[in-house]
Structure 1
Amino acid sequence: MANYCVYQDRCHQEVEQKMRDFLLIPEAKEEILLYLMKENYLNEERFTRSYIRGKFYIKSWGRNKIRNHLKFKGISEKLINSCFDEIEEAAYDHVLQKIYENYYAKQNGFKPYEKKSRTIKYMLGRGFEYESIIQILENVSFD
C-alpha cells in the first residue's frame, strides 16, 4: 500500500477502495491506514493541494468542477476551501479568458448572441463560476 501511495498522492477513499480489492480483514485495514498516515504516505491536505494544482494547471478546470470532484472523493468542504489558495487569481482569470476566447472563436455559423450563449454554457461545464465568466465578458470584445 505504501508503493500505491508513493506513486501519486491518494485520498483516504482511494486507499480504502484499493484495500477492499485485497479483501483484508477490518483490523488489518485500520493498521495499514494508521501506518500510512503516521509515515506521511497518506496526507489529505497534500492530496487536495496536488489535485487542485493538477486539475487547474493541466486540465484547466474551474473551481466548481474541482470542488465537486473533491467532494465526491470524500474531502471535507473546509479542507477544500483552505486549499484553493493553490490557484492564483491572476492565473485563474488568464485561463478563463483564454478558454473563453478560443471556444468563442471556434463557434462558426451562429449569431453573436448564440456564440456568446454557447460559450457561457461551455465555460459553466468546465466548472467556472458564472460571475467570473460575466466579468471576463465585460473585458473582452469580439464583434
Structure 2
Amino acid sequence: MQTPKKNKSYTPKEALLKAASYCAYQERTQQEVRDKLYTYGLSPDEVEELIVRLCAEKMIDEERYAASYVRGKYGIKKWGRRKILQGLKGKGISDYCIKKGMKEIDPETYWGNLLQVLEKKMRTEKESNPFARKQKLLYFMQSKGYETDLIQEGILELEKK
C-alpha cells in the first residue's frame, strides 16, 4: 500500500520561484496557480499576495490564456464555439477575457473545420435511414460544440457534392 504523498512546505520566496517556473512551462489560470500554491503549504494571504505579484509580472495573464486556449481547441482539436466557451467558463475565466479570446477564431477556418469534421463523420456513419443519419450527425457535431444552424448548412453543402 502506498503512503499518501506529503507536500513539502515552502517559504513564500521559494514558492514564488516554483510558481514562476510552473507558469513559464505553459499558460495557467489564476485558479490553477492558486491551487498549486496551496499545495506548497502557504496561507491564503500569502497565496493571494503571490498571485497578485505573478499577475503584475505578467507570469499569469488570463487574456493571453484565453487566446491560447481558443487557438488550441479550435485549431488543433477542431472544437466548436460552444464547447470552447464552456471550457473557458469551467476554468473560471472572466467574461471579458473569454470575449477577447473568442476573437481568435477566424470564421473561414472555423467553417472549414466544421466541414472537415462533418465529412469525416459522414464517411464513418453506418446509419442507412436518411433521417436517423442526419440526426446522428447533428448530435455528434453538437457534442463537438458546433452551432445547430451551421451544422445543418454544412450537411446540406456536403450532400450536394
In the alignment, residue 146 of structure 2 is paired with which amino acid?
F
- TM-score when scaled to structure 2? 0.83
2:124 aligned with 1:106:
yes
Per the alignment, residue 136 of structure 1 pairs with: 154
Say which of 11, 17, 38 aligns to 2:56: 38
Larger Rg: 2
2:112 aligned with 1:94:
yes
Structure 1: distance between partners of 2:156 and 2:126:
22
In the alignment, residue 88 of structure 2 is paired with which amino acid?
L
The CA deviation at 1:109 is 4.4
- The percentage of aligned residue pairs carrying the same residue is 34
In the alignment, residue 65 of structure 1 is paired with which amino acid?
K
The CA deviation at 1:23 is 2.3
Per the alignment, residue 60 of structure 1 pairs with: 78
Per the alignment, residue 93 of structure 2 pairs with: 75
RMSD (Å), alpha carbons: 1.5
Q: Relative contact order: is structure 1 or structure 2 higher (C-alpha 8 Å, sep ≥ 6)?
A: 1
Stretches of structure 2 that go unaligned for 5 or more consecutive residues are 1-18
Structure 2: distance between partners of 1:20 and 1:65:
29
What are the Cα deviations for residues 70-110 of structure 1, in whole angstroms up to 9, with x where unaligned? 10111122321232111100000000011111101101242
Structure 1: distance between partners of 2:149 and 2:96:
22
What are the Cα deviations for residues 3-56 of structure 1, in whole angstroms up to 9, with x where unaligned? 000000001111111112222112211221122111110001000000000111
Q: Is the 8 A contact 2:68 2:101 kept in 1?
A: no
Instruction: Choose 45-54 or 11-20, whichever is displaced more.
Output: 11-20
2:27 aligned with 1:12:
no
- TM-score when scaled to structure 1? 0.93
Flag as ranges the 4+ runs of structure 1 deviating above 6 A: none
Structure 2: distance between partners of 1:38 and 1:78:
18
Q: Is the 8 A contact 1:104 1:116 kept in 2?
A: no
The CA deviation at 1:142 is 6.2
